[in-house]
Structure formats: C-alpha cells, structure tokens
Structure 1
C-alpha cells in the first residue's frame, strides 16, 4: 500500500495575493492498493463525486501519465471543499504524486510544482502544500519562482470555516478588472513590506500589514461577511492579524500562542454559523510512505 498525504493551505495571507501561502495541519490522504481492471475510487464525498477514471485525482494523474495502470484507491480528507483552504490543490498534488510514483517517472519536486502550477494557474496553494511551511511564489507563464516564507514559531491560526461554500470562480468574478497605477504601487508596497517583516521576525509590523490588503478583500467582503465581524472582535481583544484565506470564505487570525485561548473563547460564545478550529503550520508538505 502506498500512502500520499497532502496538507491544506491558506493562500494570499492578506496582501500576498496569488503569491503567499502557508501549509496547515488539515490533510487529504490518498491510499493506493492493488491493481484493478478499472479505476475504483472509494471516498465519502457523496454521489456527486465520481468514483472511476472521471474522479479529479485520477484525471490529474492521467494527465501526467496517460497509460497508468488502474488501481483501487481510498481518498480521505478533512479539508473542506470550496472554503479557501486549498482542497483542490491538495487533490491535484495527490494525483500528480500518484502518477509520479506508480508511473516511476522520477520527477523532482520542482517539476511537480511546475506541472501543478500550470494546472492550478498560480502557485500560492500548491507550493506550500508541496514543500510545507510558508512559501512566496510567482509564475510568469514559463517558470515558477519560489522561496520559503518565514513565519513566527509562536503563532497559531485561529480559523473560522463558514457553513456556506464559495467557489473560486465566483470569488474571481468579484475582483476589479483594473487598478490604478497609484493603487497598484501601494498594494505591492504593502505586500513587499509584509514579506520583509516576516523574514526578519517582525511580527508586530507583519500582523498590521496582513490587514491592509488592497488587492482582493474589499472586493470580496460581501461574499465573506464574517471577515469584518471576526476582525472587530479580535481588535477588541487587542489582537491584530485577521485575513481572508484564499478566495474565502474561511477567515483566519494569526494569533500569538499566549492570546489564542481568549480569542477562541470569545468567538465560541458568538455561535457563528460554521466551524471554529485551532490550526498550526505544517512543515512537512506532501509525504509519501510505502507499506508492503
């Protein structure tokens, strides 16, 4: 049996639009068993999710290795779908890793990242899911540039996952078609300074900049109304660092460990319509283990 484990991710991290992401400790697990005549995918996603060669993970694998021998596979995941936590990226990487392993392609992580980025469109989710930890990445249509993004060791990710879904396509449609030169310069400066602050461990500066995004949060605020609610609650507790995870609607607050409990307790009492989780960074990224 071959086991492939891929972490969830939180992309954008405030002003780091389509470029900054971090791996979190929720996981998709793909278990590969015996060869079969046809692909047999066992999952708990319901009848709308294909259980044959039309399954997204299998189709992704076949895009890399078209002649791959069918197998019986089991997919388990605690990454919620369409919530801004990289569910599609984790499935995509699982498929590519399956093809690489079963097909004995011997592709490096760099090649897997390139393939995943081409399929995904941008690397801010797939890069941290592959490498673990925080990652800054950029794709120019030809090459993927990436570097580790240093995050403080003493923070937690207080995460609110609403009950409702928000498809990436819908969230993309809410974005403005153009930004003025002046606004673009300001937005880029905020993102650049955030990355620099994180690189030297200046979390006091970074947590403020995380809330100063000008690329997407304002345009998507009507799709994720709990962003301002949770941000205001955190501010009342003198906690700064709340942002919209990916395209949303999940809301994450980067919280020093010493302040985590008071924020969790306060938000729990509000009975918000969704799930409240305490998450941490995953520093391992995609993992493959083999058992005879």
Structure 2
C-alpha cells in the first residue's frame, strides 16, 4: 500500500499557452492498494467511481505500455483541488494513475517516461510538468518527447487565487480557441512570455502586468466566465503585479508582492458584490512535485 500526493497547478500563466505552469501547495492524494481482483474506488463522487475513472484509465494505459496484466486495485481519494476549476485536477489524476501502475510494476519507468506518457494522455505539458517536478516550469513537446526547464521565481512573489462556484470543462474552454491566429498576435505573445519569465526570475516586476497579457486564449475564454472582465479590470487598478486566467479557467490567478497585505482585502470586498460566490485562497509554490509515500 502506498500514497501518491500530487500538487495543484496553474497552467498557461497568461501568454504561455500550453507551455508555462506552476505547482502549488494544494494537493490531491491517492492511496493505492493491490487486491485479489476487481476495482474499488473510495472517496470520490459516485459518478467517477468506475472503470472510466481518469486515475484508473491512466493506470490501464500504463499497464498496456509495460505489457503487464493488472491485478485488482483499491483506490482511495482525498482531493482538495476543485474539479474542472483550472487548477490541474485532471493532471493529478493522470500522473497518479501512471505512477501507481509504474510502482506496481517495480518502477520500470523513469521520471522522463512518466512525463511523456502523461503528456500523451493530457495532450499538452503545461500542467503535468510542474505537477510532476514542482516549481514553475516551461515545457515543450517535440516529436513525442517532452523537454522542460524549471524557472527559479524570485522570492518576492506570492499568489492569490480567485475561485468561483463554477465548473468549466477543459474541452469546452478549448473548443472556443481559433485554429489560426494573426502573426501580430503570435508575436505579441512571444514577447510577453519572454518578458514574464525574465521579470519573475530577476525580481524586476515593473513589466509583469503587461507580460501577463495574452491574445491566444484569454480573449476567447473570457466570455465563458461571468464577471471575468470586471474582475481583471479591478485587479489591474490595484497594486497587484499581474492577473491571468488559471489554466482553462474559471479560476483567476493574481500575482502579488509578498509584502502586499492590502490588495487581497480589497479583492475580497470587491468579489462580495458579484455573483458566482467567488472565494480567495493564498497559495505557496510547491517545489517538490509528485511524491510517493509508503504506508
């Protein structure tokens, strides 16, 4: 019996569509037990407690790749990350499933292979990479292989998450994106991704607000989230360093200076006047990523 602990993530980070992500100290945990036969899933919504469960289906795909026949398994979930909320809940399930199958097969896969299989299932690398290795990462997929680097963010930054009582499926949020974009929009994002990374590493925050701007996904997804424009406009008029849509949404991420203790209070007061039952949550960066704990 063992436990897999996987951190929440925020992907895209403004202009970094499918490439930038950061892991946080908010977790989904999965206890894995091998049993004689069958499947038991405990601690999750009944509609997910079946063979289509993303953790279990990811396990099966991994067993298939490793050419191993699975025995029975009991999975016990303890989940603190909102489902379909833009904080990487699906990435935690995919990584947990691959990691569980790998451990049951004697850890046949390297971390790089685990990442490769996770990207194949997820379809992109910006969530699964920081969830696996921790910290802020930039990652790309080339000819089926995933390459990444960790980005050492300056210690002067903290994150405040704005979470509505709304679920937004990634498939729906991705469906609104155009297949082609103007060259000027692509250039716009290239410059801002570069500026965002350098500013966060150097601790020179003057350009972060502009660097969080985007023309590839946020303008198309904002219409799916009630009060998105009002909230981001309000944030931009505060002392916040920057604001961006977390993953595919609906969660909104606000970056603040660590010594800024007034902006979150203003945000809470503003959100109380809006529909959507918005909540705020302060999150610290998780530098470790996925952990396996023997029980």
Q: How would you bin the TM-score normalised by the shorter chain?
A: over 0.9
Q: 2: distance between equivalents of 1:225 and 1:151?
A: 31
**Corresponding residue pairs, total:** 287
Instruction: Name 2:49's counterpart in structure 1.
Output: 50
Instruction: Name 2:153's counterpart in structure 1.
Output: 151
Structure 1 residues 127 and 214, CA gap change in structure 2 (3 angstroms): same
Q: State TM-score, norm by structure 2.
A: 0.92
Task: Verify: 1:191 aligned to 2:162, yes or no.
Answer: no
Task: Verify: 1:213 aligned to 2:232, yes or no.
Answer: no
Partners of 2:84 and 2:168 within 8 A in 1? yes
Partners of 1:226 and 1:251 within 8 A in 2? no
SS class of match (2:153):
coil
SS class of match (2:16):
coil
Task: Verify: 1:277 aligned to 2:281, yes or no.
Answer: yes
Q: Deviations over 1:157-207 (max 9, x none)?
A: 111111111111111111122112222222222212222333333233234
Partners of 2:241 and 2:257 within 8 A in 1? no
SS class of match (2:47):
coil
**Aligned-residue CA RMSD (Å):** 1.6
Q: State TM-score, norm by structure 1.
A: 0.93
Q: Would you identify which runs of 4 or more consecutive aligned residues in structure 1 move more than 4 Å? A: none
* Alpha-carbon shift at residue 275 of structure 1 (Å): 2.3
Partners of 2:268 and 2:279 within 8 A in 1? no
SS class of match (1:65):
helix
Task: Verify: 1:237 aligned to 2:238, yes or no.
Answer: yes
Structure 1 residues 192 and 44, CA gap change in structure 2 (3 angstroms): same
* Alpha-carbon shift at residue 242 of structure 1 (Å): 0.6
Structure 1 residues 276 and 36, CA gap change in structure 2 (3 angstroms): farther
Q: 2: distance between equivalents of 1:198 and 1:141?
A: 29
Q: 1: distance between equivalents of 2:123 and 2:183?
A: 24
Q: 2: distance between equivalents of 1:125 and 1:155?
A: 20
Q: 2: distance between equivalents of 1:72 and 1:263?
A: 45
Q: 1: distance between equivalents of 2:154 and 2:232?
A: 20
SS class of match (2:292):
strand
SS class of match (2:48):
coil
Q: Deviations over 1:82-103 (max 9, x none)?
A: 1111110000000011001111
Q: 1: distance between equivalents of 2:99 and 2:278?
A: 32
* Alpha-carbon shift at residue 34 of structure 1 (Å): 4.8
Q: 1: distance between equivalents of 2:246 and 2:193?
A: 15
- Structure 1 residues not aligned, in runs of 5+: none
